[in-house]
Amino acid sequence: MASDTEMGSWTDLLYSSSKLLEQAAPSAQFPPLQRNLDQLEALSKKLKAKTLRTEAPTQSIAATRCLSLSLSLSLSLYTYTMMHTKVNKKLLLAREGINAEQLARDLKSFELKTTFEDVFPAEATSVEEYLQQVHEMAMVSAIQEAQKDNISSFNDYMMTVLQEDWQKEKRDFLQSVSRISMLPKTNLGVSNTGGARPGQIMSLTSGTQVLSGQSSMEIAPLPNKPVLEKKAAVYADVVKNLNHARERGLPFKPATAFKGAYESLGLDASGGKSVTMQKIWHLIQTLMGEGPTVQWNVSKIMSLVIGARRHLEWGHEKYIVDTIQSHPAQAALGGAVGNLQRIHAFLRVRLRDYGVLDFDAGEACRQPPVDTTWQQIYFCLRTGYYDEARKVASSSRVSHHFAPQLSEWVATGGMVSPETAAAASEECEKLLRMGDRVGRAAYDKKKLLLYAILSGSRRHIDRLLREFPTLFNTIEDFLWFKLSAIRDYPGGSNSAVPNEGYSPYSLDDLQVYLNKFEPSYYTKNGKDPLVYPYVLLLSIQLLPAMLYLSKDMGDEGYNVDAVHTSIVLADHGVLSVSAGAGQKLKVMDAFAEASSIIRQYGSVYLRHENLSLALEYYMQAAAAVGGGQLSWSGRGNVDQQRQRTLVLKQLLTELLLRDGGINLLLGPRGAGEEGELERVFTDVKTRQQFLLEAAHQCQEAGLYDRSIEIQKRVGAFAMALDTINKCLSEAICALSRGRLDGESRTAGLLHSGNEILQTYKYYPEVSLQERELVSEQQTVLMQLDAILSIHKLARVGRHLDALREVAKLPFLPLDPRAPDLANDMFQSLSHHVQACVPDLLKVALHCLDNLTDSDGSLRALRTKSIEIQKRVGAFAMALDTINKCLSEAICALSRGRLDGESRTAGLLHSGNEILQTYKYYPEVSLQERELVSEQQTVLMQLDAILSIHKLARVGRHLDALREVAKLPFLPLDPRAPDLANDMFQSLSHHVQACVPDLLKVALHCLDNLTDSDGSLRALRTKIANFLANNLNRNWPQDLYEKVARSL
């Protein structure tokens, strides 16, 4: 039975399928499926092969698209048939000759592959267009790659430049700031007890104790320490010895001391350079006249020139000795040790190819010997053997006319008389003419040099050098000749000039000539770096030499040498002599440059917390700008002494601002009697004046603790208390504004104030005026302490106790039971106390807001506070208090209280009075003006609300509603659009507090009027909408109910 039923259902399905097929056969959308998938694939391959043979890309694309369309249509028909039959598909496919299993396997392995043209259709229709597109794409790609390379190269270059700049800046910074960061680490407590903490190790050497002369560290064995560290260590000792000698007025030769300190290091033992620092120190020693030299009555310039010349003569003497020792057989010195015998020995070596010399020729000599008279005179002068030169000149027949001229040149230090210079100039002219004649016997060029030196004629000297450019073998010989020929006529007077055509050779001429060449010419491109400053010093260009030395030129530490050579030059006061040709500076400018070099070096010690050595160098910096050695004894000119005092005070103030500076300068106690300040300012009044000025600068820098300490040390107790009161006033204001550090700071200040008052009691000498000032400041301190206690009570919530303390304040009229004080009594308060009053009144008002006024005393206190605010110029705060009170009075008036109307009138009068006073107040800040303007607007708004209440109370309902509609800060005008809700949010809270009662008054007026034109209904709607927009406010419930009943 079941089989018959199943067979019937299959028959029905077959019949349905046949009907569906007949209906689908004539469909125009889908062609009948006549081929299987294998046949379709074979046909598509043939079509593709044919397309490739004809090389028609467009046809291939069309054929492929056609094939795809055929497949799509066939598959669509198949899908359509499957969707409509949904049953017995195997039977239907079998009837059409399709194997369902084979079709399923074929569909799993079938894949439609797209060509390049399917995804990226070609836009070119010809080979030329295709090539053009390829070319454009290649160009674009090349440009993009080039841009990437350029950006990458630029970034790499910029990074390299930044790294180089950073390395340079880093190197310059480390060289300029940390030049002595590797100095010997010694215990500062050993060298100076002032300002040093026990066990503290400093990174800079502290040098030696000057009085004892013993070093705090062994200086001799320093083989493993840097050159800069060695120099700084030994130089610092000399600076301290120099300062103490100058303080006591003892003789001291700084150049000699620095030279000895440098020689103790043995740095030039293995050097191969032509000019060493030891040689420069010897030059400075002779320039300053500290060596065993003869004193001439000449100008300071000529004294320096003679010193430079004597140094060159010292060097030539060493050269002669070395030459003799190198050629002992030829020199044949024997046992003779005289200066003239050395010259003879040197000439034997120098003139060994000329034959027998005159001083060696005996009576049996067959041929005439070589006359060496002028050679002997020249080399005696060149070596500094002046007596021997005069002896040779006077003993020789060929130079007997020259002998008196030479004696005069030696005796006057080169400043011969005009007659002698004229005679020497004529002889020089004769010798030059003799050389121009052909056939005449040659003359000794040394004779020409000697007469040129005595003449001092610029014309002869220039001609000589022009005609004989190879006359000098070394720059030392050249400079000695030029220095020997220099003349310095004081004031440029013509009285000392031999004749009108005579032009003396001057120091400026030498400097101009030497400055024609770059520094690299002298230093051989840096291989011999000290040659250039050596030449500058020889040509008396002292300041340029120091500035050049101060540059960093490697690891030799020449900048440290520059600092201490500047100390020597400044101490001798020679910097004003000659700044160098082309670099003419004023006297004070030259001293200021040297002072700056010394000061910068001392500041390095300051940065490394070695305050004692920083003090030593600072003292030298001040002495430099004051004129050197004379400034220590006060013998300098007035301008220099003033500059020294100013610089010294500035530098000492820098020390005071440092940790430990007060203990170093002032000692453990007192005003400098036990510290280093007594060395600088021996006068007590000068010390006190300086300390008071330093305390003032500390206040300006915000270092109030140091300022208070200095003032206490000086005995200026009133000034110290005033500083404490100022800081305490600021701390109270900070505390009232919620700053965290206010409370701890106030405790420390109160402790310092009480400590000063305790010290003041036992101070031996206090003037009557000082006692009165201390008493005033003590009163201010007590007043500030009382204000501070009120702030503390308010912060912990003890509002009633805070108000009681406010009422007790004797200097403020805030007691409700007491009469008002006179205005001048408040004005007499300290400005420190007055500065705390506004914040004190804020605290009082805050306490009033947190208490209930049961007996009216709080209201009286609030009224009192308004008067105080007006007196201190806090107009905005006073108006805010009035607005608050007026808002409360309006609310009381609307609720039927009897005193509301009189109170509002008094408050409005007070507000207008404050505004009138504000117009004529002398000093009002911009912020205060803005706040007053805001509070004035609030006052006007409250006045408008009050007028509406008054109209409603007298029954003028229509006028009251008109005023309500006119209010610009409420959206109640029936003819105007609704305002944004945030506009109401921006209203003052005093005005917002009056709005509910105002709306009640408006509704009451609406109830008492007849709506004839619908305007009243519009006003009711406005009120309802306004309430709807402010449902989140805690307004009275009866207001909402009243509006709901009126709608």
User: 0.85 exceeded by the pTM?
Assistant: no
Tokens (6 digits) for 432: 């030059």
Does the pLDDT value for residue 113 go beyond 90? no
pLDDT category of residue 282 using cuts at 50, 70 and 90: very high
Whats the size of the chain, residue-wise? 1047
Query: Measured at the alpha carbon of residue 970, what is the angle toward residues 969 and 975, in degrees to the nearest 5?
Result: 115
Does the pLDDT value for residue 203 go beyond 50? no
Highest-scoring range by mean pLDDT, 41-45, 211-215, 613-617, 928-932 = 613-617
Cross-strand bridge partners of residue 208:
215
Residue carrying structure tokens 């049953």: 87
State whether residue 575 is helix, strand or coil.
coil
pLDDT of residue 386: 92
pLDDT of residue 744: 74
Q: What is the 3-state secondary structure (H, E, C) of 154-190?
A: HHHHHHHHHHHHHHHHHHHHHHHHCCCCCCCCCEHHH
Tokens (6 digits) for 679: 């060395």
pLDDT of residue 876: 77
981 or 280, which is more confident: 280
Highest-scoring range by mean pLDDT, 472-476, 535-539, 581-585, 848-852 = 535-539
pLDDT of residue 512: 92
pLDDT of residue 868: 60
What is the rounded average pLDDT of the residues 578-595? 65
Nearest to 347 by CA among 337, 358, 338: 358
Query: Measured at the alpha carbon of residue 495, what is the angle toward residues 491 and 498, in degrees to the nearest 5?
Result: 115
Nearest to 605 by CA among 620, 591, 593: 620
Q: Using CA of residue 63, residue 69, residue 72, residue 76, what is the dihedral sign?
A: negative
Does the pLDDT value for residue 498 go beyond 60? no
Tokens (6 digits) for 976: 């105007």
pLDDT of residue 258: 93
Percent with pLDDT over 90 in the chain: 17
pLDDT in tens, 812-847: 766 665 555 555 566 678 888 888 888 887 787 778
Q: Worst-scoring range by mean pLDDT, 463-477, 497-511, 684-698, 857-871? A: 857-871
pLDDT of residue 308: 92
pLDDT in tens, 364-399: 566 778 888 999 999 999 999 999 999 999 998 888
pLDDT of residue 907: 79
pLDDT of residue 34: 55
Highest-scoring range by mean pLDDT, 182-196, 657-671, 847-861 = 657-671
pLDDT in tens, 289-313: 887 766 667 888 889 999 999 999 9
**Separation CA 518–CA 162 (nearest Å):** 31
**Separation CA 356–CA 369 (nearest Å):** 5
Residue carrying structure tokens 């010690």: 605
Are the CB atoms for 994 and 891 separated by under 8 Å? Answer: yes
Does the pLDDT value for residue 82 go beyond 70? no
**Separation CA 875–CA 931 (nearest Å):** 9
**Separation CA 551–CA 574 (nearest Å):** 22
**Separation CA 764–CA 792 (nearest Å):** 38
pLDDT of residue 184: 38
Nearest to 663 by CA among 260, 1047, 194, 114: 194
Query: Measured at the alpha carbon of residue 892, what is the angle toward residues 890 and 895, in degrees to the nearest 5?
Result: 110
For every residue of 798-867, DSSP letters joined together read -HHHHHHHHHH-TTS---TTSPPPPHHHHHTS-HHHHHHHHHHHHHHHHHHHTS--SSSHHHHHHHHHHH
Percent with pLDDT over 70 in the chain: 73
Residue carrying structure tokens 């005005």: 991
pLDDT category of residue 95 using cuts at 50, 70 and 90: low
pLDDT category of residue 196 using cuts at 50, 70 and 90: very low
Does the pLDDT value for residue 207 go beyond 50? no
Are the CB atoms for 713 and 666 separated by under 8 Å? Answer: yes
Cross-strand bridge partners of residue 504:
457
pLDDT in tens, 123-133: 666 777 778 88
Nearest to 939 by CA among 875, 985, 997, 894: 875
pLDDT of residue 823: 52
pLDDT category of residue 639 using cuts at 50, 70 and 90: confident
Cross-strand bridge partners of residue 357:
370
Does the pLDDT value for residue 954 go beyond 90? no
Does the pLDDT value for residue 658 go beyond 80? yes
Phi first, then psi, for residue 222 (nearest 5°) are -125, 50
Phi first, then psi, for residue 675 (nearest 5°) are -120, -170
pLDDT of residue 213: 33
**Separation CA 555–CA 547 (nearest Å):** 17
Nearest to 640 by CA among 586, 710, 677, 565: 586
Are the CB atoms for 157 and 573 separated by under 8 Å? Answer: no
Highest-scoring range by mean pLDDT, 60-74, 87-101, 234-248, 668-682 = 234-248
Nearest to 880 by CA among 842, 824, 840: 842
What is the rounded average pLDDT of the residues 615-627? 90
Alpha carbons within 13 angstroms on the beta-carbon side of residue 586 total 5
pLDDT in tens, 134-168: 888 888 888 888 888 889 888 888 888 888 888 77
What is the rounded average pLDDT of the residues 619-635? 87
- Biggest alpha carbon–alpha carbon distance for the chain: 178
Does the pLDDT value for residue 189 go beyond 70? no
pLDDT of residue 240: 93
Q: If you average pLDDT over every residue of the chain, what do you get?
A: 77
Query: Which value, in Å, is the radius of gyration of the alpha carbons in the chain?
Result: 54
Q: Worst-scoring range by mean pLDDT, 29-38, 251-260, 632-641, 1018-1027? A: 29-38
785 or 273, which is more confident: 785
Does the pLDDT value for residue 178 go beyond 60? no
Does the pLDDT value for residue 9 go beyond 60? yes
**Separation CA 236–CA 183 (nearest Å):** 11
Does the pLDDT value for residue 980 go beyond 60? no
pLDDT category of residue 38 using cuts at 50, 70 and 90: low
898 or 545, which is more confident: 545
**Separation CA 841–CA 801 (nearest Å):** 15
What is the rounded average pLDDT of the residues 570-579? 79
pLDDT of residue 619: 92
**Separation CA 863–CA 884 (nearest Å):** 11
1 or 508, which is more confident: 508
What is the rounded average pLDDT of the residues 977-985? 66
Residue carrying structure tokens 């020449």: 558
Does the pLDDT value for residue 1040 go beyond 60? yes
Nearest to 690 by CA among 663, 720, 711: 711
- What is the helix (H) or strand (E) element at residue 949, kind and residue range? helix 926-953
Q: Worst-scoring range by mean pLDDT, 120-129, 189-198, 329-338, 416-425? A: 189-198
**Separation CA 695–CA 648 (nearest Å):** 15
Q: What is the 3-state secondary structure (H, E, C) of 412-430?
A: CCCCCCHHHHHHHHHHHHH
